[in-house]
Amino acid sequence: MIRSAVETAAAVRAGRLLAVDVVEQSLAAIAAGDGDLNAFNLVTADAARADARAIDEAVAAGRDPGPLAGVPIALKDNLCTRGIPTTCSSRILEGWLPPYDATVVTTLRAAGAISVGKTNLDEFAMGSSTENSAFGPTRNPHDHTRVPGGSSGGSAAAVGAGFVPLSLGSDTGGSIRQPASLCGVVGVKPSYGLVSRYGLVAFASSLDQIGPFAGSVADAALLLEVIAGHDPLDSTSIPDPVRPISTHLNDGVAGLRIGMVEEFMGDGIASDVRARVHAAAEALAAAGAEIGEASVPAAAYGLDAYYVIAPAEASSNLARYDAVRFGLRVDAATTPEMYDLTRTAGFGDEVKRRIMLGTYALSAGYYDAYYGTAQKVRSLIRRDFDLAYEKFDLLLSPASPTTAFAFGDKTSDPLTMYLNDVCTIPTNLAGHPAMSVPFGVGDDGLPIGVQLLGPMMSEPTMFRAAAVLEAGLEGSAGRAVAS
Amino acid sequence: MPERISAAEVASVARLARLTLTDAELETFTTQLGDILEHASQMAALDLSGVEPMGHPYGLVNVMRDDVVAAVVDRDEVLGSAPAAEAGMFRVPPVLGEQP
Amino acid sequence: MSELPNGWTMVIGLEVHTELLTSTKLFSGAPNHFGGEPNRHIDPTSLGLPGSLPVLNRTAVEMAIRIGLALNSTIQRSVFARKNYFYPDMPKDYQISQYELPIDLGGWLDLPSGERIGITRAHLEEDTGKSSHMGSGGGRIHDAEYTLIDYNRAGVPLLEIVSEPDLRTSAQARAYVSELRSILIAVGASDGKMEEGSMRADVNVSVRQGEDAPFGTRCEIKNVNSIRSLSRAIEYEARRQIDLLEAGERIRQETRHWNEDEGRTITLRSKEEATDYRYFPEPDLVELDPDPVWIEEIRAALPPLPAARRLALAAAAGCTAELSALVVERGLDPLVLAAVEAGGDPGRLVTHAVNNLADAGPDAVTASAFAQLSRLEADGQLTATQAKTVLAEMLSSGDGASEIAARLGYEAMAGGELESLADQLIADHPDDWATFCAGEQKVLGFFVGQAMKRTGGKADGKALSALLMARRG
């Protein structure tokens, strides 16, 4: 079992532990286990060691090394890291070196965290299994024949396997929460605008958010507090101060009204998953929460609206991959031919599918029926959530309809894969925060996470309930270590 | 809701998106896109009269910055990552035709 | 400009793009600076790098509001939108612009000659980079071997101002662009340098028979790089369309390229196969809804606009609208007004501003010095010719009018001197005097010329002429 981020930072700050030793331990675990898992696209061992030495020097000199001092962290490979390849697991960005750091990367460095590498994902964050990566899939640490979930499969697996205590992923339709559930770790999608998107390679701009993976609720809180906050480089960034989370973690849930979302507990959800959600409700009730039945009727149309809006924005966001300024170039006699050859060779099938879908949904004659309609449906979904939040402080649901599935199980038909996100997509559409908390295992012994949802900026409340669930867990289910 | 997407329309959006499809791909994608869009067209069942499209989830408006120069990127670093460069500029094959 | 034949008339609309004089780009803090080495004024956002995001420049918004107010537009809530198309000088392969909801809606501009031209809208958008087509083709795109792209200009703020199709002649079109340019310069939003590309005009032209017929099919003409080219391009295009229509053919709605060297428009592409730009609201930006208090502050701070300045000058100086327009165009009205205030002779001040200060700036001479010069002239101490010389000296030396007049030996002729001069001239040229008395007005010029010779230019020609005419009776 690796040391938690909270313990590591405290020990390094106090001089009881050397950052170089912590990093070495992490790098050794990766070297031993990642050959099988393929969680990492790139391990930046030398840079990590150098960063660790700098932290130890700072501590020795009596300077404040930051709240995450010495904590190893893995970064999803769609986060820009200056001078370090950032590929989005796509051929079209293979070897691309960004000339700038994402805001969260700068923030993490200032906080003393030590990045050990870039993790694998579904290409351009489009997928729910990491099988769409151009560099091979990542395996689930609990069962190597199964997927870790997606699109942030690498980041989820890296924490689930105990390589690092913390990692960052991104969530557009569930890409943090679903893999967190499948890998047995904590995964958080913050309120839209709470964490800066500057330097996150865009998939769907109005839905994307960066968020933490961690082995514990307290670790997730620590990381989220570091990366949250207003960024003048992101126009959609919330200017309000971040409400403290860690200091209220153990405030409990007495008197909180928590509703189980009817629309997320239907026939599409496996019975063992539903059972764990009910168990979670009981655990929360035992801790003093009032449990009820909640309904978000328009959420039933979440998939429909999402699979119009997200591809539409993606089709525009991915137009810049044109071989002119960066990335892959397939040479041609003319620029138009260069565009075609490069994009055809550089993008995988799922990316192409979504680009075409999105282009169609925005095109003249179809805009009103598809994109225009979807944006209105989105308003309805948000309205129905807001109505639910008049009756409840938090909502409860599965994070994934099933436990981890086998490779190839859901790749024959796109729609089958899309259904993995039926519980998570509506929150992205609404902009609200949500998190997946490990809560036991399924009939197959594989991890199941339950999802807590809350209104805008309700992270402190959400984390209180998460802490109760974590404390109420029997046994050590959900925290696998690489074997 | 519109009719099911045709192969010609898929070919057309592929062209718009600068993607070349093989015949097999065109067939497969036409089926897949048709299925997805058909599913999505269930939205037509909802009463959307008077519903406005969603804006920023936190209601932000008027986000602006002061007209002050901020750090630029290093040209050499950027051109070093470029597929082709010459004389401090990005180089591309002949463009053909005026911009749209 | 000649009339169109056979009762044809034109309908013209103009789309003018102006770069705004901000320090930084529309959506990022990279410098907005003309010239300099390629790709030095760039950042992740102006290069469209993965992960980059736009943030709106407040000063660009303020300038857009200034221009909107100056054009009598409504400043409204607006939304940025993506205009999607592939082109290498477009870093993101989409341009952030405004589509259904532009910042400025409606409005009008009055031409100096009085016609009111409607403004449809004005919206903010980002400029593209610049392509250089290389190889043996002499910079032309069609013969290029390869192209080099400089993104210094990519992201520079533009305001696109669209007129209603209210213009009817190429002269009006010229006047519109000229007046619009004056307004943009007056409010400090643009430097109006068409030759540098900071102001660009695309013109829509169609023709019809008579003034009340429905509008014909229009063509858009691009690459008009000066006000002079604008006239030529419009005239050419109108006649091209007339020739086609009179031959029984249809006008194809299309975009045409003005070729300055050949003096003609050529087909670029057909607008009927218009590119589908797939506009949708920009998700990386939030709505812009300027605070009414801010708008009023901007309105209160607007400087006087050219039309108002022309009226003010005409009223204060009692001069014609044409003369007033000339003085304001030169930016000399503040000087003339101040000189009038300081007791100068308005008529003479205006004349000097029009004739003798063409190349000087408004600070070339102080208001009081200018006023003094005009009074010396009005009092008869200096002739018009002498005053012109003195003024030129004032501009180069900075000395006062009286000083210079004394230095040059210009003294007023005493009242009686002029009378005795007239006597001498009549006595010395009796035949010419008789011809003049018989009605030959032209002989006056001869007498004035003689007077100038005799007095070394000191005689006041006008006064002498008046004297001689009075003598003749």
Question: Which residue ranges make up each domain of chain B?
Answer: 7-44
Query: On the CB side of C140, how many CA atoms lie within 13 Å of its CA?
Result: 7
C186: left (phi over 0), alpha (psi -120 to 50) or beta: alpha
Give the model's confidence band at C413: pLDDT under 50 very low, under 70 low, under 90 confident, else very high.
low
Give the model's confidence band at C472: pLDDT under 50 very low, under 70 low, under 90 confident, else very high.
confident
Q: What confidence score (pLDDT) does residue C271 get?
A: 46
From A23, A133, A121, A25, select the one nearest A68 (Cα to Cα): A23
**Per the CB < 8 Å rule, is B89 touching C150?**
yes
pLDDT digits (tens, 9 = 90+) for C172-222: 999 999 999 999 999 999 999 998 899 999 999 999 998 889 999 999 999
**Per the CB < 8 Å rule, is C50 touching A88?**
yes
- Outline where C142-222 has alpha helix (H): 170-186
Please report residues of C whose CB lies closer than 8 A to that of A312: 280
pLDDT digits (tens, 9 = 90+) for A226-282: 999 999 999 999 999 999 999 999 999 999 999 999 999 999 999 999 999 999 999
C151 touching B, CB under 8 A?
yes
Q: What confidence score (pLDDT) does residue C272 get?
A: 44
Looking at domain B7-44, does it have CATH number 1.10.20?
A: yes
**Do A17 and A143 fall within a single domain?**
yes
Residue C122 pairs in a beta bridge with C104, C161
Of C44-48, C186-190, C226-230, C267-271, which gets the smallest average pLDDT?
C267-271
A402: left (phi over 0), alpha (psi -120 to 50) or beta: beta
**Per the CB < 8 Å rule, is A370 touching B60?**
no
DSSP string, C18-35: EE---SB-SSSSSB--SS
Average pLDDT over residues C78-102: 97
Question: Mind telling me how many Å the CA of B54 is from chain A's nearest CA?
Answer: 5
Contacts of A370-374 with C-beta under 8 Å, sequence gap 24+, read A370/A308, A370/A312, A370/B37, A370/B40, A371/A308, A371/A309, A371/A312, A371/C280, A372/B53, A373/A308, A373/B43, A373/B44, A373/B48, A374/A304, A374/A305, A374/A306, A374/A308, A374/A309, A374/A312, A374/B40, A374/B43
Q: Judge whether A391 lies within some domain.
A: no
Contact, A51 vs A65, CB < 8 A? Answer: no
A175 is catalytic: yes
State how far Cα A297 lies from the chain centre.
26
Q: What confidence score (pLDDT) does residue B2 get?
A: 66
Neighbours of chain A (3+ CB pairs under 8 A): B, C
Enclosing domain of residue A445 = 5-250+406-473
Please report residues of B whose CB lies closer than 8 A to that of A338: 92-93
Residue with tokens 């789309």: C15
List for chain C the helix, strand, coil content (%; round to 5).
40, 20, 40
Contact, C331 vs C357, CB < 8 A? Answer: no
pLDDT digits (tens, 9 = 90+) for C54-63: 999 999 999 9
pLDDT reading at C389 higher than 70: yes
**Per the CB < 8 Å rule, is B83 touching A326?**
yes
C47 touching A, CB under 8 A?
yes
pLDDT reading at C329 higher than 60: yes
C415-472 has which fold?
A: Arc Repressor Mutant, subunit A (1.10.10)
In this structure, what token pair is assigned to residue A189?
A: 């999608």
Q: What confidence score (pLDDT) does residue C138 get?
A: 67
Interface with B, mutate which of C141, C148, C278 (most B CBs under 10 A): C148
Q: Which of A232, A236, A362 sits opposite C284 (nearest CB)?
A: A236
Structural Rg of chain B based on CA atoms: 23
Of A105-114, C13-22, C129-138, C153-162, which gets the smallest average pLDDT?
C129-138
pLDDT reading at C273 higher than 70: no
Please report residues of A whose CB lies closer than 8 A to that of B51: 376, 379-380
The catalytic position among A4, A26, A76, A133 is A76
**Per the CB < 8 Å rule, is B64 touching C57?**
yes
pLDDT digits (tens, 9 = 90+) for A428-449: 999 999 999 999 999 999 999 9
Of A469-478, C120-129, C326-335, C426-435, which gets the smallest average pLDDT?
A469-478
The catalytic position among A26, A155, A175, A436 is A175
Whole-number average pLDDT of chain C: 91
**Per the CB < 8 Å rule, is A100 touching C280?**
no
Query: What residues contact C10, with CB distance under 8 A and at least 6 apart?
Result: C4, C167, C168, C169, C170, C205, C206, C207, C234, C238
Interface with C, mutate which of A233, A306, A340, A355 (most C CBs under 10 A): A233
**Per the CB < 8 Å rule, is B92 touching C146?**
yes
Residue with tokens 């999802």: A451
- CATH number for the domain spanning A226: value is 3.90.1300.10
Q: What confidence score (pLDDT) does residue C71 get?
A: 98
A334 touching B, CB under 8 A?
yes
| Cβ pairs B/C, distance under 8 A | 135
Could you tell me how many residues make up chain C? 473
> What span, in angstroms and rounded, lies between the C-alpha atoms of C216 and C207?
6
Contact, A3 vs A164, CB < 8 A? Answer: no
Interface with C, mutate which of B13, B16, B56, B64 (most C CBs under 10 A): B64
Give the model's confidence band at C143: pLDDT under 50 very low, under 70 low, under 90 confident, else very high.
confident
CA distances from A194 to A75, A167, A421, C205 (A): 18, 17, 22, 51
Nearest CA in chain B to C276: B16
The catalytic position among A151, A191, A397, A400 is A151
**A-proximal residues of C, 90-109, CB under 8 Å:** 91-94
Digit-by-digit pLDDT tens for chain B (100 residues) are: 568 999 999 999 999 999 999 999 999 999 999 999 999 999 999 999 999 999 999 999 999 999 999 988 999 999 999 999 999 999 999 987 656 6
Neighbours of chain C (3+ CB pairs under 8 A): A, B
pTM: 0.90
| CA geometry: angle A114, A151, B28, nearest 5 deg | 150
The ranges of chain A with pLDDT < 50 are 475-483
**Do A213 and A64 fall within a single domain?**
yes
Residue C80 identity (one-letter amino acid): F
B40 touching A, CB under 8 A?
yes
A352 is catalytic: no
**Cβ burial, residue A245 (10 Å; 0-12/13-18/19+):** buried
Contact, C323 vs C355, CB < 8 A? Answer: no
Q: Judge whether A280 lies within some domain.
A: no
Residue C36 CB neighbour total at 10 angstroms: 11
> What span, in angstroms and rounded, lies between the C-alpha atoms of A180 and A437?
8
In this structure, what token pair is assigned to residue C42?
A: 């760039």
**Per the CB < 8 Å rule, is B56 touching C286?**
yes
B69 touching A, CB under 8 A?
no
Contact, C319 vs C313, CB < 8 A? Answer: yes
Q: Positive or negative, the Cα torsion across C30, C33, C34, C35?
A: negative
Interface with B, mutate which of C286, C288, C289, C291 (most B CBs under 10 A): C286
From C31, C58, C26, C27, select the one nearest C42 (Cα to Cα): C31
Q: What confidence score (pLDDT) does residue C379 get?
A: 86
Please report residues of B whose CB lies closer than 8 A to that of A359: 13, 16-17
In this structure, what token pair is assigned to residue B52?
A: 């406005």
Give the total number of structural domains in chain A: 2
Q: Judge whether A393 lies within some domain.
A: no
Q: Which of A99, A357, A373 sits opposite B77 (nearest CB)?
A: A99
**Do A328 and A420 fall within a single domain?**
no
Helix/strand/coil (H/E/C) assignment for every residue in A369-392: HHHHHHHHHHHHHHHHHHHHHHHC
Going through B1-100 in order, the beta strands assigned E by DSSP cover 64-65, 85-86, 89-92
Neighbours of chain B (3+ CB pairs under 8 A): A, C
Query: On the CB side of C458, how many CA atoms lie within 13 Å of its CA?
Result: 17
> What span, in angstroms and rounded, lies between the C-alpha atoms of C230 and A249?
70
> What span, in angstroms and rounded, lies between the C-alpha atoms of C19 and C197?
8
**C-proximal residues of A, 52-91, CB under 8 Å:** 79-80, 86, 88
**Do A365 and A417 fall within a single domain?**
no
Q: Which of B17, B21, B94 sits opposite A359 (nearest CB)?
A: B17
**Do A378 and A410 fall within a single domain?**
no
Average pLDDT over residues C211-238: 93
Last residue of a domain, one of A315, A350, A382: A382
Q: What confidence score (pLDDT) does residue A135 get?
A: 97
Q: Positive or negative, the Cα torsion across A261, A267, A272, A273?
A: negative
**Do A65 and A167 fall within a single domain?**
yes
Greatest CA separation found in chain B?
A: 58
> What span, in angstroms and rounded, lies between the C-alpha atoms of A474 and A387?
34
In chain C, domain spans? 5-298, 306-407, 415-472
CA distances from B15 to A314, A337, A345, A357, C103 (A): 16, 11, 15, 13, 33
